[in-house]
Amino acid sequence: MRVALMVTCINDAMFPDAGKAVVRLLHRLGVDVEFPAAQTCCGQPMVNTGYLDEAVPLLRTFVDAFEGYDAVVAPSGSCAGSVRHQHAAVARRSGDPGLVAAAERISPTVYELSEFLVDVLGVEDVGAFFPHTVTYHPTCHSLRMLGVGDRPTRLLRAVHGLRLLDLPAADQCCGFGGTFAVKNADTSVAMGADKARHVRETGAEVLVAGDSSCLMHIGGLLSRQRSGVRVMHLAEVLAATEAAA
Amino acid sequence: MSATFVGMPAFPVAAREALANSQQRRNLAHATSTIRAKRAAVVAEVDDWEQLRLAGAAIKDNTLLHLDEQLLRLEESLTARGATVHWARDAAEACAVVAEVARGHGVDEVVKVKSMATVEIGLNDALAAEGIAAWETDLAELIVQLGDDLPSHILVPAIHRNRAEIREIFLRHMAEAGRPAPADLTDEPARLAEAARLHLREKFLRAKVAVSGANFAVADSGTLVVVESEGNGRMCLTLPEVLVSVVGIEKVVPTWADLDVFLQLLPRSSTGERMNPYTSTWAGVTPGDGPQEVHVVLLDNGRTRALADEVGRQALRCIRCSACLNVCPVYERTGGHAYGSVYPGPIGAILNPLLKGVGVDAQTDSLPYASSLCGACFEACPVRIDIPSVLVDLRAQVVDAHRPSAKPEALAMRAAAAAFGSGARLGALERLSGLAGRLLGSRGRTAPGGRRLLGRVPGPGAAWTDTRDLPRPPAESFRAWWSRTGGRDE
Grade residue A98 by pLDDT with cuts at 50, 70 and 90. Answer: very high
Compute the average pLDDT of residues A34-58. Answer: 97
Q: Does residue B59 surpass a pLDDT of 90? A: yes
Q: How many domains does chain B have?
A: 2
| Structural domain contains residue B288 | yes
Q: What is the DSSP letter of B400?
A: H
Number of helices (H), then strands (E), belonging to chain B: the values are: 23, 12
* Residue B392 distance to chain A (closest CA, Å): 6
Looking at residue B2, what is its pLDDT?
A: 60
Which ipTM did the prediction report?
0.97
The proportion of chain B whose per-residue pLDDT surpasses 70, expressed as a percent, equals 99
A–B interface: beta-carbon pairs under 8 A = 217
Compute the average pLDDT of residues B257-279. Answer: 97
Q: Where are the domains of chain A?
A: 3-120, 133-239
Backbone angles phi, psi at B110, to 5 degrees: -135, 155
| Rounded distance between C-alpha atoms, residue B280 and residue B260, angstroms | 14
Choose, out of A7, A141, A184, A191, the residue to mutate when testing the contact with B (most B CBs < 10 Å). Answer: A184
The residue among B241, B272, B303 that closes a domain is B303
Question: What is the tens place of the pLDDT at every residue in B111-130?
Answer: 999 999 999 999 999 999 99
The residue among B252, B276, B303 that closes a domain is B303
Q: Does residue B20 surpass a pLDDT of 80? A: yes
Question: What is the tens place of the pLDDT at every residue in A187-233?
Answer: 999 999 999 999 999 999 999 999 999 999 999 999 999 999 999 99
| Structural domain contains residue B93 | yes
Compute the average pLDDT of residues B384-400. Answer: 98
Q: Which of residues 380-399 of B touch A (CB under 8 A)?
A: 389, 392-393, 395-399
Inter-chain residue contact A182 with B413, CB threshold 8 Å? no
What integer best gives the mean pLDDT of chain A?
97
Q: How is A38-76 classified by DSSP, letter by letter? A: T----SHHHHTTT-HHHHHHHHHHHHHHHTT-SEEEES-
Looking at residue B434, what is its pLDDT?
A: 83
User: Do both B297 and B443 map to the same domain?
Assistant: no
Q: Does residue B81 surpass a pLDDT of 90? A: yes
Residue A42 near residue A6 (C-beta atoms within 8 A): yes
Inter-chain residue contact A13 with B395, CB threshold 8 Å? no
Inter-chain residue contact B12 with A184, CB threshold 8 Å? yes
Interior CA angle at A165 toward A161 and A192, to 5°? 125
| Structural domain contains residue B390 | no
Looking at residue B10, what is its pLDDT?
A: 96
Q: Does residue B441 surpass a pLDDT of 80? A: no
| Rounded distance between C-alpha atoms, residue A129 and residue B202, angstroms | 73
Q: Which of A16, A24, A38 sits opposite B474 (nearest CB)?
A: A16
Q: Write out chain A residues lying below 8 Å of B16, CB-based.
A: 186
Please count the other Cβ atoms lying within 10 Å of the Cβ belonging to residue B232: 26
Q: Write out chain A residues lying below 8 Å of B461, CB-based.
A: 182
| Structural domain contains residue B325 | no
What percent of the residues of chain B are helix, what percent strand, and what percent coil, each to the nearest 5? 55, 10, 35
Question: What is the tens place of the pLDDT at every residue in A99-150?
Answer: 999 999 999 999 999 999 999 999 999 999 999 999 999 999 999 999 999 9
Compute the average pLDDT of residues A80-108. Answer: 98
Question: What is the tens place of the pLDDT at every residue in B196-242?
Answer: 999 999 999 999 999 999 999 999 999 999 999 999 999 999 999 99
**β-bridge partners, A5:** A73
The proportion of chain B whose per-residue pLDDT surpasses 90, expressed as a percent, equals 91
Q: Write out chain A residues lying below 8 Å of B471, CB-based.
A: 14-15, 216
Grade residue A86 by pLDDT with cuts at 50, 70 and 90. Answer: very high
Backbone angles phi, psi at B211, to 5 degrees: -125, 135
Q: Is B335 exposed, middle or buried (0-12, 13-18, 19+ CB in 10 A)?
A: buried
Contacts of A70 (CB under 8 A, 6+ apart): A1, A2, A3, A109
Q: Does residue A245 surpass a pLDDT of 60? A: no
Pick the CATH number of A133-239 from 1.10.287, 3.40.50, 1.10.10, 3.30.70: 3.40.50
Q: Does residue A89 surpass a pLDDT of 70? A: yes
Closest CA to B376 of B36, B56, B38, B60: B36
Q: Which domain holds residue B108?
A: 11-19+49-134+207-303
Element (H, E) at B404: none
Looking at residue A110, what is its pLDDT?
A: 98
| Cβ–Cβ contact B204 with A under 8 A | no
CATH code (residue B289): 3.40.50.10420
In 3-state terms, what secondary structure has residue A4?
strand
Contacts of B258 (CB under 8 A, 6+ apart): B59, B218
Q: Does residue B4 surpass a pLDDT of 90? A: no
Grade residue B1 by pLDDT with cuts at 50, 70 and 90. Answer: very low
Q: Which of A186, A220, A228 sits opposite B468 (nearest CB)?
A: A220
Q: Does residue A244 surpass a pLDDT of 70? A: no
User: Do both B293 and B432 map to the same domain?
Assistant: no
